Structure 1
Amino acid sequence: MHFGDFYYPLPANEPVLSYAPGTKEKAALKAAIKELKATKLDVPMYIGNAEVRTENKVSMHPPHERKFVLGHYSEGDATHVRKAIAAALKAKDKWANLSWENRANIFLKAADLLATKYRFQMVAATMLGQSKNAYQAEIDSACELIDFLRFNVHYLSEIYRQQPLSVAGVQNRVEYRPLEGFVLAVTPFNFTAIGGNLPTSAAMCGNVVVWKPAHTQIYSAQLFMRILQEAGLPDGVINMVHVDGPVLGEVVFAHPEFAGVHFTGSTGVFNYMWKTIGQNMSAYKSYPRIVGETGGKDFVLIHKSADADVAVAALARGAFEYQGQKCSAASRAYIPSNLAIEIKKKLVAEVKTMTVGTVENFTNFVNAVIDEKSFDKIEGYIKGARKRDSKSKILVGGKCDKTEGFFIEPTVIETTDPYYVTMCEEIFGPVLTVYVYDENKFDDILKIVDNTSAYALTGAIIAQDRYAVETATNKLRNSAGNFYINDKPTGAVVGQQPFGGARASGTNDKAGSILNLYRWLSARTVKEVLTPVRDYRYPFLQEK
């Protein structure tokens, strides 16, 4: 029996470990990396109560060490997608009817397991599988994922407390139901935390989920799946499949019980999903929820009043942390003419200090890009700039080598054309393009920043002049869903900066906030009249 309402207060953000020399965490992380490399994994799909393996084995390799085999995963096909949907729907009623406190405590336990027992294993898996350095893996696969789980429990608890007004003789209430059907979660390679959040945020609300992680993130995704199981997640609530996107879409988007998609990935794929769902509307029981965070062409706008050192630090970190493979990474920068010489000189000097190499050498700031397809695409942009036409030149970096791993030096391109190709197109790699503008034409450059890209994810203004800050904040209101003042445009923290953008960057449903969770709930209003009327007649009908 249920005889109480259980509320979960606002948690604190998970502390970030430093991995500084001599710390216990540094030794523990190195030991975890060694242990993982000594074990070859055979990763199954998780469908219902079964670990499903196939004859089609795909090898997993660290991007920075191409020849090393971490293990293999079983690749599935359409039959496995159908089985995952069936398993989810079989689990649906029992999961949806589970009391809130028992649902919530599964995810809180998973957060605690991540924070303690599995922390270094998860960080190590992210380092090896996705080529993240220790700090980037820590803030992602440990801290952010822990925060997603804990804060979402709190936010959902807040939603459940929101109830309508009741008046004399009438009792009103709202029930927050899960969606009718199953939810599809499609997650990217670049953040283990996103891989964990997209399926669990929907599941936390009582939904059942089919989860397709990016193939290049399966190595860390499987560990999180096992953590959820250890935390007590019932079979079938989240089902993880390894299939190609078109195979997945053909089955899922034709299913009458499809209730929504939680997506992070490319704008092109998301647009195709939206189109397909629209064409299939007559097949569905209800209107599916479509939630997505897609690409970015994120900017740093530097005002003539800026502190040059602040600007350089924002560019260096914003553009080159995790090889620029963040949807929020600084990709285009606008430098005022009065600071151009100083900023370019200092930025070039800083980039030259960045070492590139394997994650196992903790002194490397930059590691490998995710795979050969990405490497070739990024190298193509650099080769284009290296032609040294009248519009572009490489200020620093530009070396690309995929002999041992997919290594690309952090690269800064300068262009004389604010609409040059690398100022407009998403590159998703360690490439920053800078454009020098007339320091006295700030209003003009604001218009260029606003209309250069179809994306509107993140952006930053670096300035000491408060009038300039306010002007940029207002004029660029629709240019970025996350806007930063005197900081890099990356590093949103759960509970502090709800994350998401608009325009071609997605639906702006703000992962890691209460806003996102509303999308996975369906409200039902219940009115009970305590003293029912017994006559249809109203007083106005009487003349006397």
Structure 2
Amino acid sequence: MREYLKFYIDGRWVEPAVAKTLDVINPATEKPAGRISMGSAADVDAAVKAARRAFASYSQTSVEERIALLERVVAEYQKRYADMAAAITEEMGAPAALAQKAQAAMGLGHLQTALAVLKNYHFREERGTTLLVKEPIGVCGLITPWNWPVNQIACKVAPALAVGCTMVLKPSELSPFSAQVWTEILDAAGVPAGVFNLVNGDGPTVGAAIASHPEVDMVSFTGSTRAGVEVARNAAPSVKRVHQELGGKSPNIILPDADFKRAVTAGVRSVMSNSGQSCNAPTRMLVPRERLDEALAIAKAAAEATTVGAPDSGASVGPVISATQWDKIQTLIHKGIEQGATVVAGGPGKPAGLETGYYVKPTVLVVKDNQNIVAREEIFGPVLTVLPYDTVDEAVAIGNDTPYGLAAYVSGTDVEATRRVASRLRAGQVNINSAAPDLMAPFGGFKQSGNGREWGDHAFAEFLEVKAVLGYVPKA
């Protein structure tokens, strides 16, 4: 049993202002795996004040000093890599291979990317007689989710550290173990006191206190659109910058000339990965009506070949995060069927032989149109919805018929035709033919999928203010 009952504030592990704890449930066993303290507004205030004090000096550090700091963080992360992967497996039931090769790897990848960007980033530019300076925005409140825990921590903390900001992190109370390991890494790397602070807790208490705190200059939030609205509402009175990476219901258009076996299989696997708990998962697959039966047969085979089981079993899919999430997924599947969806693979209930643990059957549903609830709502489980289309124009229209716009996917063999479809999709990131992830590519959404961008050099801008110094260069 892990016990993480202290918060990291001003470079020290401190007792919470009010003693209140929460059991952290391992979703594979449905039993407590550890215990954390739940913070209060008083803890947030202490952390913010520490970050404000630290900002005075840390914001003035040189690029070379921050490069050296990030290099130390990378080295410490590499030492604790196995610990990070184990923490992620225990807190969210991620299969061991996924935790090691993807989840923990993304944390390290964002650190290394921020380090590479910092080495070549230009914080100053002269335009005529004016100097433009990019300066750290100040104290940042970082609120992260449970589905890719250290990925979301790293893609916020790394650029914030790189540009000279100080910060207070609230990780998800459902997956706090990886945040604890992350904090230990930063402490061992010698991050100056007050630059990074950790307060555990829930959204309505700690998250709201961070978003509304007058001494927090910007808040970066990743989570549901509903929660993102609350963060923005709490932040509004102090007119702070709000960065949001929110929900998605990403279309995956399989063009008529695509390699169907490859494209459909890749689409199914992408949805099932991480138990479907990825905001950019291609959860709506659009296929030509005349090839619908072919696509469904391929999707059925791919879903049924997806193994589900305990994190240490070698299965490719583990449980979803909680009983609440399992219930939500089941409710949406049932509602979808009531509205006319047909089960192609999987369906309601738990997989055979997995009565303990929050396991969901890898599910494929086919619907007549985009109005079915399983084509509208973000399910956040291993559930794929397949929709037919008659023309490519209709496919694009269906793809864009969503309040979300985080990601979109398109597959085809005609390169120019595929690119033209990609250009018409209203999403922050469009993937052509199952391209590999690119940590330098900006990540963020259109519409209700959020504001701003993370990853690579675009992430730096979220944590910077631009100052114009007129007359900096004297006239000749």
Which bracket does the TM-score occupy, shorter chain normalised? Answer: over 0.9
TM-score (norm: length of structure 1) = 0.81
Partner of 1:492: 437
Determine if contact 1:385/1:394 at 8 Å carries over to the other structure. Answer: no
Determine if contact 1:324/1:330 at 8 Å carries over to the other structure. Answer: no
Q: 1:140/1:216 Cα in 2 relative to 1: closer, same or farther (>3 Å)?
A: farther
Partner of 2:75: 112
Match of 1:187 among 109, 130, 144: 144
Letter in 1 for 2:122: Y
Deviation at 1:523, TM superposition (A): 3.0
- 2:125 aligns to what SS in structure 1? coil
Partner of 2:427: 480
Determine if contact 2:11/2:197 at 8 Å carries over to the other structure. Answer: no
Match of 2:395 among 445, 453, 463: 445
- 1:73 aligns to what SS in structure 2? strand
Partner of 2:125: 163
Aligned residue runs from structure 1 range 17-36, under 5 A: none
Q: For 1:97 and 1:443, locate their aligned partners in 2 and report how far apart those are by CA, in whole Å.
A: 53
Partner of 2:10: 48
Q: For 1:120 and 1:152, locate their aligned partners in 2 and report how far apart those are by CA, in whole Å.
A: 22
Once superposed, what is the RMSD of the aligned Cα atoms? 2.3
Q: For 2:213 and 2:414, locate their aligned partners in 1 and report how far apart those are by CA, in whole Å.
A: 55
Q: For 1:472 and 1:358, locate their aligned partners in 2 and report how far apart those are by CA, in whole Å.
A: 40
Determine if contact 2:246/2:448 at 8 Å carries over to the other structure. Answer: yes
Q: For 1:224 and 1:526, locate their aligned partners in 2 and report how far apart those are by CA, in whole Å.
A: 38
Letter in 1 for 2:446: A
Q: For 1:458 and 1:254, locate their aligned partners in 2 and report how far apart those are by CA, in whole Å.
A: 30
Partner of 1:66: 30
Q: 1:133/1:466 Cα in 2 relative to 1: closer, same or farther (>3 Å)?
A: same
TM-score (norm: length of structure 2) = 0.92
Is the counterpart of residue 458 in structure 1 residue 402 in structure 2?
no
Deviation at 1:205, TM superposition (A): 1.6
Q: For 1:255 and 1:81, locate their aligned partners in 2 and report how far apart those are by CA, in whole Å.
A: 8
Match of 1:503 among 422, 447, 454: 447
Deviation at 1:312, TM superposition (A): 2.0
Match of 1:138 among 93, 100, 103: 100
Partner of 2:332: 381
Determine if contact 1:310/1:486 at 8 Å carries over to the other structure. Answer: no
Letter in 1 for 2:158: T
Letter in 2 for 1:155: V
- 2:431 aligns to what SS in structure 1? strand
Q: 1:399/1:187 Cα in 2 relative to 1: closer, same or farther (>3 Å)?
A: same
Q: For 1:267 and 1:394, locate their aligned partners in 2 and report how far apart those are by CA, in whole Å.
A: 28
Deviations 1:295-340 (A, max 9, x none): 0001111111111112222222221001110011121111112322
Q: For 2:23 and 2:466, locate their aligned partners in 1 and report how far apart those are by CA, in whole Å.
A: 44
Aligned residue runs from structure 1 range 72-83, under 5 A: 72-83=35-46
Q: 1:58/1:147 Cα in 2 relative to 1: closer, same or farther (>3 Å)?
A: same
Q: For 1:530 and 1:483, locate their aligned partners in 2 and report how far apart those are by CA, in whole Å.
A: 42
Deviation at 1:404, TM superposition (A): 1.6
Match of 1:242 among 177, 200, 205: 200
Deviation at 1:161, TM superposition (A): 5.4
Determine if contact 2:300/2:344 at 8 Å carries over to the other structure. Answer: yes
Is the counterpart of residue 521 in structure 1 residue 437 in structure 2?
no
Q: 1:225/1:436 Cα in 2 relative to 1: closer, same or farther (>3 Å)?
A: same
Deviation at 1:253, TM superposition (A): 4.2
Q: For 2:343 and 2:472, locate their aligned partners in 1 and report how far apart those are by CA, in whole Å.
A: 73
Deviation at 1:218, TM superposition (A): 0.4
Q: 1:256/1:436 Cα in 2 relative to 1: closer, same or farther (>3 Å)?
A: closer
Letter in 2 for 1:61: I
Deviation at 1:70, TM superposition (A): 2.5
Match of 2:136 among 178, 183, 189: 178
Q: 1:468/1:97 Cα in 2 relative to 1: closer, same or farther (>3 Å)?
A: closer
Q: For 1:211 and 1:502, locate their aligned partners in 2 and report how far apart those are by CA, in whole Å.
A: 25
Determine if contact 2:37/2:201 at 8 Å carries over to the other structure. Answer: no
Q: 1:253/1:325 Cα in 2 relative to 1: closer, same or farther (>3 Å)?
A: closer
Deviation at 1:162, TM superposition (A): 4.5
Deviations 1:269-299 (A, max 9, x none): 2122223333x14xxxxx5221111000011
Greater shift, 70-79 or 198-207, is seen at: 198-207
Letter in 1 for 2:434: D
Partner of 2:365: 413
Q: For 1:249 and 1:475, locate their aligned partners in 2 and report how far apart those are by CA, in whole Å.
A: 36
Determine if contact 2:25/2:33 at 8 Å carries over to the other structure. Answer: yes
Partner of 1:366: 317
Q: For 1:112 and 1:296, locate their aligned partners in 2 and report how far apart those are by CA, in whole Å.
A: 34
Determine if contact 2:406/2:428 at 8 Å carries over to the other structure. Answer: yes
Partner of 1:261: 219
Match of 1:152 among 111, 114, 121: 114
Greater shift, 309-318 or 218-227, is seen at: 309-318
Aligned residue runs from structure 1 range 281-360, under 5 A: 281=238, 287-360=239-312
- 1:347 aligns to what SS in structure 2? helix
**Count of matched residue positions in the alignment of Structure 1 and Structure 2:** 470
Q: 1:62/1:517 Cα in 2 relative to 1: closer, same or farther (>3 Å)?
A: same
Deviation at 1:250, TM superposition (A): 4.6
- 1:370 aligns to what SS in structure 2? coil
- 1:152 aligns to what SS in structure 2? helix
Q: For 1:175 and 1:470, locate their aligned partners in 2 and report how far apart those are by CA, in whole Å.
A: 37
Letter in 2 for 1:50: R
Q: For 2:326 and 2:28, locate their aligned partners in 1 and report how far apart those are by CA, in whole Å.
A: 12
Deviations 1:451-481 (A, max 9, x none): 2x100111111112345314312322xx211
Q: For 2:209 and 2:152, locate their aligned partners in 1 and report how far apart those are by CA, in whole Å.
A: 24
Partner of 1:94: 57
Letter in 1 for 2:85: V
Q: Which runs of 5+ in 1 are unaligned?
A: 1-38, 282-286, 534-544
Q: For 1:530 and 1:394, locate their aligned partners in 2 and report how far apart those are by CA, in whole Å.
A: 69
Letter in 2 for 1:447: A
Q: Which runs of 5+ in 2 are unaligned?
A: none
Is the counterpart of residue 123 in structure 1 residue 85 in structure 2?
yes
- 1:455 aligns to what SS in structure 2? coil
Q: For 1:223 and 1:237, locate their aligned partners in 2 and report how far apart those are by CA, in whole Å.
A: 17
Structure with greater Cα Rg: 1
Greater shift, 251-260 or 72-81, is seen at: 251-260
Deviations 1:406-451 (A, max 9, x none): 000110011112221111111111111111223xx22223212212
Q: 1:104/1:341 Cα in 2 relative to 1: closer, same or farther (>3 Å)?
A: same
